[in-house]
Structure 1
Amino acid sequence: MARSNDAVAAMLLEFAELLAISGGPPYKVRAYEKAAQAVEGHPAELATLRSAELDEIPNVGSQLARKIREFLDTGSVGELDELRARVPTGLRSLLTIPGLGPRRARQVYEELGITSPDDLLAALHEHRLRELRGWGARSEDNLAAAVREAQSAGERVRLGLALGVAERLLQRLRPLPQVQRVEYAGSLRRMRDSIGDIDILVASDDPEPIMRAVTELPVVERVISHGSTRTSVLTATGLQVDVRVVAPPSWGAALLYFTGSKAHNIQLRELALRAGLKLSEYGLFEVETDRRVAGEREEEVYARLGLPWIEPTLREGAGEVEAALHGTLPEVVTRADLRGDLHTHTDLTDGVAPLRDMVAAAAAAGHEYFAITDHAPLLHMQRMTTEKALAQRRRIRELDREAGPALLHGTELNIQPDGSLDWDTEFLSGFDIVVASVHSHFDQPRDVLTARLLRAIEHPHVNVIGHPTTRIVGGRSAIDVDLDEVFRAAARTGTALEVNSLPERLDLNGELVRRARHFGVRFAVSSDAHSVAQLGNLSFGVATAQRGWATRDDVINTYPLDELRRFLAKHDHAAAVR
């Protein structure tokens, strides 16, 4: 079952969107957004909390706590219903369009009479938006690209949502006495950044009770099909789930078959045929005798084909089979290889947890070191100042003397439209680590955006470029930059590029990680956590790095602390390159 926290967060975000599109004060919109983030990341289930405990959640307060209580008790909020009624239906429909935003949605509604995504597409086709104040040909083209990307994504959902649904299903199925083994497969096991549907595989000699149990799961909205060994259902969140039961001797072959991409599986079947074998979801068989020679474990199927076991994240038919045959497939980085986290936020800016709570969570996660990188002054909504940064540094130094991970005081700078940064070089020299990111002006020309990133990369104190392409999965296209130039500069200057682990970002993505490796780029796999719960997102970043064939040596937060500090010194880059 979904957590009540998620439902409450969605309600608060709807409040924020409707306030923004109806012209509500920005501070109030931001208050709802921060409260949504706080409840989503809160470790306790909101439905179990008393009203006084809701009031104590950071960024909630008594007024929003009352609305949350009303929502938890009745399933609705009267004030939100009134707000919905005041905002025209056509205007609300525009909020679903990625890349538009509340302010511009209201503008195209009022000035062009656009009331639906279809109206917007027609206006884009006729180039009518570029005539509006604040628009131009490039901003119109960027919006059209975002709409096309959303359309191509179809009904796909982000990795984090799909994984949460799958894990809750496994928790329900695993205790059934008939279940011997159960695992999710498909693109979810390959950890793609978006998922079309969920494949779950079960090993059992008695499939009928399992098939029946699947149809009765609380998360199921509708049964699509119900068979003796395969059942398909639709969840309340709109995800299709296909559950298959196989006999235990076929488990490994079936898990391999239903995990790999089409291209990966074709290559394996071709290998099998050349060896006089045939491969299916039931096992690996001799062609002449139909005798099964492997099937119970994935490892034995790969071994019988002359291959090492290949990580699920690599099974895309992108050269991994050839590399495995020639012994050149890299040993990719794992979650256990990470020694720390290099990009996190506290409630000093837009995080929802205080510094001590974030540090305690990092200690509980086993981090050897932990960087706090709150936003800098030029992201004005965060209200950071030099004085606040210095006060935080003193507090971090005090905490660093206590048991726990080594603490690094950092900052996430804003790469301005001209490539300049928030603080001068002298002040930046006092930070242990500096992350620099693009947060605005995504539609600049390619040469301007490229120069903007290069200026930040070449800065003597910038260590990491955060979420380098700025893409939002299913929502915002990557900025248009000359990535080869960016990769060359990053490798030359010893500036790491981030693999941001937030499920909505996963930026750099796997394909770009692999491309950047050829230039000698190093990476920081970081959580960009804004709450304690989000520290766990590192597994998504690791999977993304794996999809780019990144090894432990490619990722700077696998380094011991003294080696990491040498890399962060930047001026002595050669000493940090292995």
Structure 2
Amino acid sequence: MISNDEIASILERFGGLLRLTGENPFRARAYLHAADTIRHLAEPSVDLAAGDRLREIAGIGEGIASVVAEIAATGSFRALDSLSARYPPSLLDLLALPGVGPKTVIRLYGEFGIADLAGVEAAVSRGVFRDAKGLGQRFEGDLQIGLAAVRARDGRIPIGRALPAARSLQAALRRLLPGRVEIAGGVRRFAETVDRLSVVVEADNVAVTTAAIASMPLVVKVAEQRDDRLRVRLQSGEESDIVLAKPSEFGVVLLRATGPASHIACLGPLPHEAGDETQVYAALGLPWIPPELRSTETDWSDLARITALIGRADLRGDLHCHSTWSDGSAPIAAMESAAAALGYDYLGITDHSRGLGVARGLDVGRLRAQRREIVGLTGGIDVLQGAEVEVHRDGRLDYDDETLASLDIVVASLHSGLRQDRATLTDRLIRTIANPHVDIIAHPSGRLIDRRPGGDIDWPRAFAAAAEHGVALEINSDPSRLDLDAEMAHDALAAGCLLSINCDAHSPESFELIEFGIAVARQAGATVDRVINAWPLEQLRHWLAERGRQPRPDLPGEV
């Protein structure tokens, strides 16, 4: 029987090919969203399709449900076969390279006959792109770096995929079994990537529990089984260790399964029995240490600081999100409503500036129109009109000073030129930080985990500049970024910098990504006083006023 992961991969392939063709982007997005939904279903989608129950799932309409049924019967579907005849699916691998979007992929295929990564590598080695119009030596250099990043991938699972998969497994096990079920391993610690999932299950009878787990619809096969643990492959494609623990030993087993080994070693000999982790730490004369902090170097002399670290409930708003005015998928009112539902007091709408054309960036005329919409909102929270302003390769910002000064808040981002040399890139970032109209630097390094390394920046210089000018540095909560990472955020705090923990949300659902950013901030040692979007609105407004921001001045051209 074909697994959920295999069906999801087929839908992803089709959605990716639709992106290449330039067809309706909403159709491509629907297939990609459906793929993600199906991958994490608790039941085999084949069974749901057979019972005509797929359409009961949000995001799965009649068309996609019929496609899933066709895949279940034949292993493919006609629309995919037709599109694959025009464009080799291997073209999708090229999208993993930095600076390569759908239009570039089509050009590489049509003009140079390149259909896969091997073809790109061969073309780079021959210098094919150096004299090509619109490509050139810089493009070639970016490809070399991207190819190296692809080769360096080790098959580990990014936390953004691992955590939902682990929670689906946990929920299924809790429905099946009477005892406790807890996520463990790197997923519980919010590690950036993990080699597999890990779950601890309370079990009085190992044989009965093992048999029940092996028969779960969510489990494709048992890859390994010994004594008190199994390794299973899931419908979603991941492998998971499932460790069985007696009730009296559950706390000790969970602690060991969570790790890491370095933390366990620092704790010393553990008690043989403890019903929960709190009892284990208490037996060692220690307070309970949250899992996300166990991968960091623990200061055993100041464990009381743990209670002062920022938590999700401390956030009062989000200052970096997008709407349908640029590349978001929801209108401002829907984003405001979602933020209000989370208990936020304010929200920064920071759609892209005009320089990022691929994201439908706003010119000044559209900014004025957006201002009128924001003024008319009635959702009950304060909505700040900002912008995610593109920083050009020469350090200029995408709007003039008058426009920047008219916004409620300015987030500056380096999306291009990340391969500039260290001195040039550092000077460019510091010039941006020193601009009196810039309040936040978004995803400062520009990295994409497993896809693109961050820029080569002299971080001590950059952090010193941010501290001097009072500019906040972002912890971007998107699990594909996590930028700043925990080590960099720790160094930024040590240098005297402020932080802002944002989701870079492009949909209402994306606000839930904040838990990833919070974990990074806690690992870095961040407290409420150093995170600007943990401040009350009055304090945030005061900070912005001290930075020269006036209460919503007119945009250029307004009367």
Structure-2-length-normalised TM-score: 0.84
- 1:384-463 to structure 2, matched below 5 A, reads 384-399=362-377, 402=378, 404-463=380-439
- Matching residue's letter, 1:13: G
Which residue of structure 2 aligns with residue 489 of structure 1?
Answer: 465
Between 1:427-436 and 1:304-313, the stretch displaced more is 304-313
- 1:74-473 to structure 2, matched below 5 A, reads 74-75=70-71, 78-88=78-88, 91=91, 94-95=94-95, 100-102=100-102, 116-118=116-118, 120=120, 126=125, 128=127, 131=130, 133=132, 139-179=139-179, 181-269=180-268, 278-279=269-270, 284=271, 292=272, 295-316=274-295, 318-320=296-298, 323-327=299-303, 329-330=305-306, 331-381=308-358, 382-399=360-377, 402=378, 404-473=380-449
- Matching residue's letter, 1:485: R
Partner Cα separation in structure 2 for residue 441 and residue 37 of structure 1? 29
Between 1:150-159 and 1:551-560, the stretch displaced more is 150-159
Tell me, yes or no, if the aligned pair for 2:323 and 2:507 is still in contact at 8 Å.
Answer: yes
Q: 1:424 to 1:365 in 2, by over 3 A?
A: same
Which residue of structure 1 aligns with residue 511 of structure 2?
Answer: 535
- 1:544-559 to structure 2, matched below 5 A, reads 544-559=520-535
Partner Cα separation in structure 2 for residue 40 and residue 569 of structure 1? 46
SS of 2:320's equivalent? coil
Partner Cα separation in structure 1 for residue 35 and residue 539 of structure 2? 36
Between 1:114-123 and 1:347-356, the stretch displaced more is 114-123
Q: What runs of 5+ residues in structure 2 fail to find an aligned partner?
A: 42-52, 550-559
Tell me, yes or no, if the aligned pair for 1:220 and 1:234 is still in contact at 8 Å.
Answer: yes
Identity across matched positions, percent: 35
- The CA deviation at 1:142 is 4.0
Partner Cα separation in structure 1 for residue 477 and residue 354 of structure 2? 24
Q: CA RMSD in A?
A: 3.4
Partner Cα separation in structure 2 for residue 9 and residue 566 of structure 1? 49
- Matching residue's letter, 2:80: L
Q: 1:32 to 1:383 in 2, by over 3 A?
A: farther
Partner Cα separation in structure 2 for residue 339 and residue 18 of structure 1? 40
Which residue of structure 2 aligns with residue 274 of structure 1?
Answer: none
Partner Cα separation in structure 1 for residue 536 and residue 92 of structure 2? 51
Q: What runs of 5+ residues in structure 1 fail to find an aligned partner?
A: 20-25, 58-64, 270-277, 285-291, 574-578
Q: 1:385 to 1:142 in 2, by over 3 A?
A: closer
Between 1:443-452 and 1:524-533, the stretch displaced more is 443-452
Instruction: Kindly provide the CA deviation profile for residues 165-206 of structure 1, in whole angstroms up to 9, marking residues without a partner as x.
Output: 111111111133442x11111110110122210010112212
Q: 1:502 to 1:485 in 2, by over 3 A?
A: same
Tell me, yes or no, if the aligned pair for 2:292 and 2:523 is still in contact at 8 Å.
Answer: yes
Between 1:82-91 and 1:410-419, the stretch displaced more is 82-91
Q: 1:41 to 1:110 in 2, by over 3 A?
A: closer
- The CA deviation at 1:568 is 2.4
Q: 1:405 to 1:145 in 2, by over 3 A?
A: same
- The CA deviation at 1:91 is 4.7
Which residue of structure 2 aligns with residue 48 of structure 1?
Answer: 55
- Matching residue's letter, 1:156: R
Which residue of structure 2 aligns with residue 289 of structure 1?
Answer: none
Partner Cα separation in structure 1 for residue 90 and residue 515 of structure 2? 40
Q: 1:241 to 1:141 in 2, by over 3 A?
A: same
Q: 1:226 to 1:99 in 2, by over 3 A?
A: farther
Instruction: Kindly provide the CA deviation profile for residues 421-449 of structure 1, in whole angstroms up to 9, marking residues without a partner as x.
Output: 22222222222211111122322222222
Tell me, yes or no, if the aligned pair for 1:467 and 1:499 is still in contact at 8 Å.
Answer: yes
Instruction: Kindly provide the CA deviation profile for residues 53-77 of structure 1, in whole angstroms up to 9, marking residues without a partner as x.
Output: 98xx9xxxxxxx8964653553455
Partner Cα separation in structure 1 for residue 98 and residue 217 of structure 2? 31
1:16 matches 2:18: yes
SS of 2:18's equivalent? helix
Q: 1:367 to 1:442 in 2, by over 3 A?
A: same
Which residue of structure 1 aligns with residue 67 of structure 2?
Answer: 71
- Matching residue's letter, 2:364: T
SS of 1:263's equivalent? helix
Tell me, yes or no, if the aligned pair for 1:99 and 1:147 is still in contact at 8 Å.
Answer: no
- The CA deviation at 1:144 is 3.5
Partner Cα separation in structure 2 for residue 38 and residue 349 of structure 1? 20
